[in-house]
Chains A and B, each alone.
Chain A
Amino acid sequence: MEFNNKPPKEYVEQLESLILVELPSLHRYACYRLGSREVAEDVIQELYLKLRTNYREGIHNMRYYIYRSLMNACAQRLRDRRKLNFVDLECLRDLREDDLQAKDFEQEYQLIGRLLETIPQEQSEVIRLHLHAGCQFQEVADIMDIPLSTAKSRYRYGIEHIRDAMRKEGLL
């Protein structure tokens, strides 16, 4: 892929129309990935500006490219945060039945985060894209550059693993 700092008009138009359509899904994905509406919007804004200015040739599917870029941007933001120890994720062992009844976004984010922390990231990412961003499995597979069967099996393994972990702790 070649970098080009002057994006063609068609690229910008396509990017803008897609971002506009996908914004609710991107927003929801980022909120539950990062745990804060404010940070999520910051990351999406930064990403948008980056995509606007750092044009790359050879993008086959702009939609998938946007989601992949957002995935990476969120992962980077979380890495930065963890470096500073601002995230204190606790294991499933401390989860109580009351915690399963989230009453607001903050509680729900914590619950989902803790459940997804029990499985490998490759599985949790499939779950996030499917359940949070609303992507179909074929779209998840294309975004993550994996076969459709792999996307489906990662999703299934992830759900089963969480189920087993919760049963072990008497939460199901």
Chain B
Amino acid sequence: MNLENQNNNMQELDQRVEQLLTPRFAPSAEGFKLQKPQQRPRHSWLLNAARIGGLAAVLVIGIFALISPTNEAHAKSAEEIVFEALEKLQNLDSFRAEFKAKVVARESKDKTDIYDLTLNGEDVTGVFMVLKNNDKVSFRIEWSNGVVQLFDSFEMRYKMWKNGELVCDEPRTSINAKFMQLLSLESVKQEFESDSEIQIEEQGNKITLCHKANDSEEIAGIFSPDEGKLQEAGVRIKDASGKWVKVLSVKIDYSTPISKEVITAAPMK
């Protein structure tokens, strides 16, 4: 009888384990539409960048433009400058950027990707900070409307504040994969190596990098080799009348080192 009770008990415990392992909160696949090859934009990494990734993509272009060595700019091809700058970017410890974007709040309940870049969006400004330590990367976005987002890979947490109030604080096992993909630059490099649609042009005293996702979307960075400075970097979308509208622009600041305390700090109320 005892043995039978023990077996029953074990079976109940096994059922409990199975219950714990059985998903109850599975994200719905509703709304997820697979894109067919002929319909899929060629430059998926750019279009994927329509949210925070977009900011990162612009930063990538902006940064390699900024850090390209001035005195070598004329001795090397523009493409060589780009690739060397990409390598250097991976070794940067931190940077800060100011951005301006046209955004609309997402309708979904996604706590992370809260805005979409869009033609008719509300104009917002903000500050974007990145801090790297070995293989960990944390980033923080301070939106002008009072929202602050922190993707903290040191503590493996995602936090969001609204007007100084903490409204989300939860553990994360990974920090925005698309952003990481862009920042690791491997996928971007592959695009550069394999994609003839990325144009790098030297005109007078500037290098222009332009990546057209399609006829109506492009990402670009303009670099002055003489000054070693970024003149402009941004994402543009063509509106219905054919006019190009800038939906995101970024200026990068290397002069302000970012510490862990700064990037993880709670905003002032």
Docked complex Cα distance between A59 and B153 (Å): 42
Partner of B21, one of A35, A81, A112: A112
Q: Indicate whether A150 reaches chain B with its CB closer than 8 angstroms.
A: no
B178: interface (CB < 8 Å): yes
B170 & A106 in contact (Cβ 8 Å cutoff): yes
Q: Which residue of B lies closest to A172 (CB)?
A: B13
Interface readout for B48-70 with A: 1 if CB under 8 Å, 0 if not?
A: 10000000000000000000000
Q: Which of B103-128 contact A (CB under 8 A)?
A: 113
Chain B interface mostly: loop
A19-B34, A52-B36, A159-B18 known; A37 vs B177 contact (CB < 8 Å): no
Contact among A41, A84, A172 for B16, CB-based, below 8 A: A172
Contact A108 B32 (CB under 8 A): no
The answer for the CA separation of A59 and B109 in the assembled complex, in Å, is 40
Partner of A52, one of B14, B37, B113, B174: B37
With contacts A88-B156, A102-B25, A112-B23 taken as known, whether A38 is within 8 angstroms of B177 at the C-beta atoms is yes
Query: Is chain A's interface secondary structure helix, strand, loop, or mixed overall?
Result: helix
Question: Are B13 and A163 in touch, CB under 8 angstroms?
Answer: yes
Q: Does the CB pair A115–B21 fall under 8 Å?
A: yes
User: With an 8 A cutoff between CB atoms, is A39 at the interface?
Assistant: yes
Q: How many residues of B contact A (CB 8 A)?
A: 38
Determine the chain A residues whose CB is within 8 A of the CB of B26 once the complex forms.
27-28, 31-32, 105, 132
Residue of B nearest to A52 (CB): B37
Does A91 belong to the interface (CB within 8 Å)? Answer: no
Contact of B23 among A28, A81, A87, A172 (CB under 8 A): A28
- A104/B27 contact (C-beta < 8 A), A35-B174, A41-B32, A49-B37 known: no
Output the least CB separation between A8 and chain B (Å): 15
For the complex, what is the distance from the CA of A159 to the CA of B22, rounded to whole Å?
12
If A27-B29, A85-B136, A106-B170 touch, whether A162 touches B178 (CB-CB below 8 Å) is no
B16 touches A108 (CB 8 A): no
B35 at interface, CB cutoff 8 A:
yes
The residue in chain B whose Cβ has the minimal distance to the Cβ of A124 is: B21
Q: Is there an interface contact between B21 and A116, defined as CB atoms closer than 8 Å?
A: yes
How far in angstroms is the closest Cβ of chain B from A71? 17
Shortest CB distance B108–A (Å): 10
CB distance from B121 to the nearest CB of A (A): 21
Q: A42-B178, A166-B17 are in contact. List 8 more A-B contacts (CB 8 A).
A: A32-B26, A35-B173, A81-B177, A88-B156, A102-B25, A105-B25, A107-B171, A132-B26
Question: Which 4 residue pairs of A and B lie closest in terms of their CB atoms, listed nearest first?
Answer: A27-B29, A37-B27, A105-B25, A85-B135
